[in-house]
Chain A
Amino acid sequence: MNKMNGAQLTIKLLERFGVGIIAGIPGGSNLPLYDALSHSTTIRHVLARHEQGAGFIAQGMARSSGRPAVCFATSGPGATNVMTALADAKLDSIPIICITGQVPQSLIGTDAFQEIDTYGMSIPITKHNFLVRSARELLEVIPAAFRIASEGRPGPVLIDIPKDVQLEMVEFADWPAMPQRECVKQYRKQDIEQAAAMINAAERPILFLGGGIRHGNAHDAAIRLAEKNNLPTTMTLLGLGSMPTEHPLALGMLGMHAARYTNLAMEECDLLLVAGARFDDRATGKIAEFCPGAKIIHIDIDPGEINKLRTAHLQLVGDAGSVLAELLPQVESKSRQDWLNRMAFLKKENSFIIEGADDPRMPYGLIRQIAALADHETLIATDVGKHQMWVAQTYPFCRPRQLLTSGGLGTMGFGLPAAIGASLAHPQRTVVCFSGDGSILMNIQELATAVEQRANVKIFVLDNTSLGLVRQQQNLFFGKQYFASEYQHHVDFVTIARGFGMQAFALGASDDPVATLTEAMQTRGPCLVHVPIGRNEEVYPMVPPGAANKEMIGGENHANA
């Protein structure tokens, strides 16, 4: 017979399921959990400085490894603080498990100190959630949480454990096994044959890869299919890296800040093979005018995504990697010379303008310089804003899970803690975080965590003294009425970083920016590099929100005009 309290049982189960790191912050309602955790010899606790930071550290681990990661928060304010990270994980389908302490059951519903309806609050922003009512239930709930977080379309799971449940003694004979994940397959052999026939018959097909390609080895299957049939391939923000940026068939990211040729190519396709993408409005623009002449084959593990925004001519509900692998033998080897020539022509006529490509003090130049100093193992995290889009447009990604970025929720403050999490999961790798002067302030406290953990993160703060992407919208769509988007007070980020005990570099004061960047990238451990950027450096092209993707502003190649 095993005998222990609910908190000890929770920690033991997490150990048994292979959890090596938990990020979190203790408080009154989760102290029994922390006490149990203090006795663990296999789980390392990473003390975050804000529960949102803890949530994003868990995301960084999960996004970079593909495995569920765990974070802890106490009841009340701890729980409310972690919600943003859960919502972010929901929209990007990231498997994290958040365990919150709750006031004792006898106090639930009495407005007790630090009581909040964590269960009710987290329903719409989790894949599933639990309020545990007895220590025995943990034997089912915790394995179920791991299954749910990673099964089918992954997502966040919250487990709320009242303090009395953490302290309740429970006796049991056997440890629960890790439950089997159910595999989703709702298509028949004929559907694969029909899909292959549609691809073979198409004259101007495009392969369209989303975040769902991160799982399994779907990217391998996707690349092999594309190469065999010569399918030009575009990717969503979360799909970047599925096919290397430098692959001859790669069209790059589509949508609001795509290269002109990418969006223009989409206009001409007659068949869109969509895998693991959900027709998000940032990718499709005005959906009614997206790929107007195309038949749609939609591959997704979530049946709810099929026909949600765009009717599919053929649906294949299942794991993208398996579906693509099944399609491979059925699609013909094709050269598609005309279509590829057309792609090459569009690319030449509407080439992407990389202004300042050779100047590391300019946004694109900086990104290219970092890419030159990085290796294939380097992970890239971003915050949200112009800097994020510059990275998405030009960083040469070479594999899935290399880019960690907040896509669906677009959460400023994501970058630094996610980078720390990625570094904890991959201590031997360098993690670069591209941030903005606005975003970095939203989780700046995690600089302390980075230093404490000696995380090998390189933070580049692209400081345009503004909420750049907001300011750009005011420039383009609100008559240059710059309101609340330009900072009046300038923060000294180098001093701030040093105050946290972190090494810092001021690129603006450097005589040799390449040497400074090299030093930053090569010094082991965390550092911050401040990069002054002009307020007027915009992100082009840009599709106005709500407009069709062909209505791009800026980014014309005047040399060809």
Chain B
Amino acid sequence: MQTLKESYPCQPSAAAGQKVLELTVNNHPGVMSHICGLFSRRAFNMEGILCMPIGDGKLSRIWIQIAGTSQLDQIVKQLEKLEDVRTVVSHPAEHEVFAKLEEYFQGS
């Protein structure tokens, strides 16, 4: 994936050691439980998650921000094993999806 570092040179979310994952999943009521459950039971660090249906609603797109890259390989492999996960794409931390949302996550 192309890095977007130039356009967002100093976003706080672009701190070293973060990653953004883009998942395409089957859209049904249990799929978020599968994803979140995987992160909690395997002690993977999840900083943020976004999920919305795409296309005709049969699929959803999930964006996940993870802290620390040491577990990245395992996270991707374990996600790919989930039956409802169609694809996993790993982006650098600078991916704009979470940066663009920042204004909705202000405050103390």
Query: Inside 8 A of B34's CB, which chain A residues have their CB?
Result: 123
Q: In the bound complex, how far is the Cα of B41 from the Cα of A302, in angstroms?
A: 18
Kindly state whether residue B2 has any CB partner on chain A within 8 Å: no
Task: Tell me the chain B residues, 70-108 only, with Cβ under 8 Å from chain A.
Answer: 73-74, 77-78, 80-83
Partner among A123, A148, A306 whose Cβ is within 8 Å of the Cβ of B30: A123
Q: In the bound complex, how far is the Cα of B72 from the Cα of A307, in angstroms?
A: 12
Kindly state whether residue A128 has any CB partner on chain B within 8 Å: yes
How distant is B51 from chain A, measured CB to nearest CB, in Å?
16
Partner among B37, B73, B81 whose Cβ is within 8 Å of the Cβ of A302: B81
Q: In the bound complex, how far is the Cα of B83 from the Cα of A127, in angstroms?
A: 8
How distant is A467 from chain B, measured CB to nearest CB, in Å?
28
How distant is B25 from chain A, measured CB to nearest CB, in Å?
13
Interface string of A301-321 (1 = CB under 8 A from B): 011101110000000000000
Q: Do B83 and A304 have beta carbons less than 8 Å apart?
A: no
Query: Inside 8 A of A500's CB, which chain B residues have their CB?
Result: none
Kindly state whether residue B33 has any CB partner on chain A within 8 Å: yes
Q: In the bound complex, how far is the Cα of B82 from the Cα of A498, in angstroms?
A: 48
- Give the number of residues in B that approach A within 8 Å (Cβ atoms): 14
Kindly state whether residue A131 has any CB partner on chain B within 8 Å: yes
Query: Inside 8 A of B30's CB, which chain A residues have their CB?
Result: 119-120, 123, 129, 131
Number of A-B pairs whose CB atoms are under 8 Å? 28
Query: Inside 8 A of B83's CB, which chain A residues have their CB?
Result: 127-128, 148
Q: Do A120 and B74 have beta carbons less than 8 Å apart?
A: no
Q: Do B81 and A124 have beta carbons less than 8 Å apart?
A: no
Range, interface on chain A: 10 to 19
How distant is A289 from chain B, measured CB to nearest CB, in Å?
21
Interface string of B60-76 (1 = CB under 8 A from A): 00000000000001100
Query: Inside 8 A of A123's CB, which chain B residues have their CB?
Result: 30, 33-34, 37
Query: Inside 8 A of A120's CB, which chain B residues have their CB?
Result: 30, 33
Q: Do B33 and A304 have beta carbons less than 8 Å apart?
A: no
Interface string of A112-139 (1 = CB under 8 A from B): 0000000110011001110100000000
How distant is B45 from chain A, measured CB to nearest CB, in Å?
17
Interface centre among A304, A306, A308 (most CB of B within 10 A): A304
Q: Do A307 and B73 have beta carbons less than 8 Å apart?
A: yes
Query: Inside 8 A of A148's CB, which chain B residues have their CB?
Result: 83
Interface string of A139-150 (1 = CB under 8 A from B): 000000000100
Chain B residue at smallest Cβ distance from A144? B83
Q: Do B37 and A304 have beta carbons less than 8 Å apart?
A: no
Query: Inside 8 A of A131's CB, which chain B residues have their CB?
Result: 29-30
Query: Inside 8 A of A306's CB, which chain B residues have their CB?
Result: 77
Query: Inside 8 A of A303's CB, which chain B residues have their CB?
Result: 77, 80
How distant is A191 from chain B, measured CB to nearest CB, in Å?
18
Query: Inside 8 A of B73's CB, which chain A residues have their CB?
Result: 307
Chain A residue at smallest Cβ distance from B34? A123
Q: In the bound complex, how far is the Cα of B41 from the Cα of A350, in angstroms?
A: 41
Query: Inside 8 A of B74's CB, which chain A residues have their CB?
Result: 304, 307-308
Q: In the bound complex, how far is the Cα of B33 from the Cα of A124, in angstroms?
A: 10
Query: Inside 8 A of B41's CB, which chain A residues have their CB?
Result: 124
Task: Tell me the chain B residues, 24-39 only, with Cβ under 8 Å from chain A.
Answer: 29-30, 33-34, 37
How distant is A238 from chain B, measured CB to nearest CB, in Å?
20
Query: Inside 8 A of B81's CB, which chain A residues have their CB?
Result: 302, 304
Given contacts A119-B30, A148-B83, A307-B73, contact A124 B78 (CB under 8 A): no
What is the interface of chain B, defined by CB distance below 8 A to chain A?
Answer: 29-30, 33-34, 37, 41, 73-74, 77-78, 80-83
7 A-B pairs within 8 Å (CB atoms) are namely A119-B33, A123-B37, A129-B30, A131-B30, A304-B78, A304-B81, A307-B74
Q: Which 8 A-B pairs have the closest CB atoms?
A: A128-B83, A304-B77, A123-B37, A124-B41, A303-B77, A304-B78, A124-B37, A123-B33
Given A119-B30, A128-B83; 12 other pairs, CB 8 A cutoff: A123-B30, A124-B41, A127-B83, A128-B82, A302-B81, A303-B80, A304-B74, A304-B77, A304-B81, A306-B77, A307-B73, A307-B74
